[in-house]
Structure 1
Amino acid sequence: MTPLSARHPDNARRISHSTRGHGHGPIVRLMSPSDFGQWLKPFVFLDLFEMDLRRFGNMPLHPHSGIATITVITEGNLRFEDPDAGTGHIGYGGVEWMRAGAGVWHGKELSAGTSAQVQGFQLWIALPAELELAPVDSQYLEAEAMPHAGPARVILGEHQGVRSPVRAPSGINYLLVTLAAGQRWEYQPPADHEVLWLSVSRGTLYSPEPVEAGELVAFEPGNGTLTLQAGDQGDAVFVLGSAVPHPHDLKMGSYSVHTSVQALNAGEANIAQLGERLRAQALPEGRSVPIYK
């Protein structure tokens, strides 16, 4: 491998912060609204997970408001089940998108797939004011439905003229990329995408600083080109996000992120009412509620 030059071009994006997060069993929390999410908003939360769901089971039902959640798989697959969308499998390049908006309870729409292990990222984005109390919107897109530009799957937004089918707000790009050993790749963010970060799930990247598996790095604001190269020991798999900065202070609840105290109060009131209705609802034995909205 011919290494990237240690000297940065004048307009190169330099790393400003890095973290390996903190673990919760098979889940590593790399970003939360109270830490990296303050610098990288609208990206406010990121988990890297690796587990056998047949052993750990489903996540319990829990609420959200004011955010959207995006789940992508880097190894293995998950099964999705939704009354409106049917069933299928999400593997590498596929995505679950859920805009919580005014409020939703979920957690059982994804379950063990056909693989023994599954690895992936769950990301939250803070919604703009006009969508933070909007109706819930869900999409389940299998890998063949997701477009790519070279080695990058376009999960959200648009890259090199390729647009994602996910109904996400404008001003946000989110890519899933695999580079072969030694392969170089450049990302030129849109001019107004001051926010830029990436996180590696497998292998090593050089920017030219090394970024190892399990690490999240944030880059200094700007719009310079990011040049990356995979290490020579194998593929490098990573997610990359860029965006127009979120203009609002984050107002946070236990499961919610909003742009104002008024919106937060409205979202939390909505999910409390939904929770009461959910607990009062009598379901036939053996039937679950994947998403309640």
Structure 2
Amino acid sequence: MTYSTARNILRRIPGQPASDGAGVRLRRSLGSRPALRLDPFLMLDEFSSSNPDDYVAGFPEHPHRGFETVTYMLEGRMQHRDHMRNTGDLGPGGVQWMTAGRGVIHSEMPQQHEGRMRGFQLWINLPAAEKMQPASYRDIPAAEIPEITPAEGVRLRLIAGRLDLSGETLSGAVNGDGARSTDPLYLDLRLEPGAQLALPVPPGHHAFVYPFEGEASIAGRPLPARDATVLSDGDHVVIDAGEAGAAMLLLAGKPIGEGVVQYGPFVMNTREEIEQALEDYRRGVLTA
């Protein structure tokens, strides 16, 4: 494939220690402050601990409106339950993709009392025209996520989106048909020591990488570990792994370009819509 413009490092969003749910300890990069978002992405949390005190309380029942949540597990087990009577058992390599839309009330609770719990939760915004759509949920086992070797020493899991590689179009487990207006691309990349990967990224999409193991660089500039590194525009990115190899997430999405007003688990376009969400929740009609 012939590329024209390489994406480079634009800025860094440092990961910060945080706590959510009933006291789950995590590291938040995107969304640690309202100014630290990347349209259409609202938040990225990494949770990683072998201490059950850091995760066992989980995320008891709580509401959402106006966006999508994507939970990706690397280690451990989590169970999802929601008001639609969905139950999802999320294990290593699995994904849950939930569109809160008009409203959802759900819980995410660990299914272990010891061992390591490790994974990520991503929040993706919805445009105003889609914020009040009916809620939906999909549980995606690890075996349903395509895994390919696009270059020597590189392993790629295509969670969402489409990739054009060597003249072949590959579709991810979610959104492979481009139906979602934000057209998200979600990749888990694993590079062996010294490996290099040139990867297409849709021009005009906002994109960032989140390295969580090893060392890597883009255009000779190192990628800070466990920070979100925002990329400039372009049609591809070239990633070089260091001596220890590297593991990272790469995410890209079509920007919405609308105002964002967030109050906890509600993300809307105006303050009045937030007040309505709060009132709907108090009256028990958030999901009606």
Once the two structures are TM-superposed, the CA of residue 103 in structure 1 deviates from its matched residue by 1.5
Matches within 5 A, 1:216-231: 216-220=228-232, 222-231=233-242
Once the two structures are TM-superposed, the CA of residue 88 in structure 1 deviates from its matched residue by 3.5
Aligned equivalent of 1:199, options 210, 224, 242: 210
Once the two structures are TM-superposed, the CA of residue 177 in structure 1 deviates from its matched residue by 1.3
Q: CA RMSD in A?
A: 2.7
Which SS does the other structure have where 2:101 is aligned? coil
Cα distance in structure 2, aligned partners of 1:259 and 1:149:
39
Matches within 5 A, 1:144-293: 144-150=143-149, 151-160=155-164, 161-166=169-174, 169-170=180-181, 171-193=183-205, 195-207=206-218, 208-220=220-232, 222-234=233-245, 236-274=246-284
Which SS does the other structure have where 2:209 is aligned? strand
Once the two structures are TM-superposed, the CA of residue 54 in structure 1 deviates from its matched residue by 4.2
**One-letter amino acid of the structure 1 residue matched with residue 281 of structure 2:** I
Which SS does the other structure have where 2:223 is aligned? strand
1:130 — aligned with what?
129
Once the two structures are TM-superposed, the CA of residue 114 in structure 1 deviates from its matched residue by 9.2
Cα-to-partner distance string for 1:37-57 (whole Å, 9 max, x where unaligned)? 1xx110110111112474332
Cα distance in structure 1, aligned partners of 2:188 and 2:280:
33
Q: Which has the higher contact order (CA 8 A, sep 6+)?
A: 1
Which SS does the other structure have where 1:34 is aligned? coil
The structure whose residues are more often strand, as a share, is: 2
**One-letter amino acid of the structure 2 residue matched with residue 20 of structure 1:** P
Structure 2 contact 73–90 (Cα < 8 Å) conserved:
no
1:98 — aligned with what?
98
Once the two structures are TM-superposed, the CA of residue 148 in structure 1 deviates from its matched residue by 2.8
Distance 1:173 1:66, change over 3 A: same
1:61 — aligned with what?
61
2:40 — aligned with what?
42
1:283 — aligned with what?
none
**One-letter amino acid of the structure 1 residue matched with residue 209 of structure 2:** L
Count of residue pairs the alignment pairs up = 262
Percent identity over paired residues: 23
Which SS does the other structure have where 2:17 is aligned? strand
1:20 — aligned with what?
14
2:22 — aligned with what?
none
**One-letter amino acid of the structure 1 residue matched with residue 186 of structure 2:** Y
What's the TM-score, normalizing by structure 2? 0.81
Structure 1 contact 79–111 (Cα < 8 Å) conserved:
yes
Cα-to-partner distance string for 1:145-176 (whole Å, 9 max, x where unaligned)? 11134322122222232222335724221111
Which SS does the other structure have where 2:274 is aligned? helix
Structure 1 contact 104–274 (Cα < 8 Å) conserved:
no
Structure 1 contact 71–97 (Cα < 8 Å) conserved:
yes
1:116 — aligned with what?
115
What's the TM-score, normalizing by structure 1? 0.79
Distance 1:82 1:64, change over 3 A: closer
Once the two structures are TM-superposed, the CA of residue 28 in structure 1 deviates from its matched residue by 0.9
Distance 1:274 1:166, change over 3 A: farther
Once the two structures are TM-superposed, the CA of residue 132 in structure 1 deviates from its matched residue by 0.9
Once the two structures are TM-superposed, the CA of residue 241 in structure 1 deviates from its matched residue by 1.0
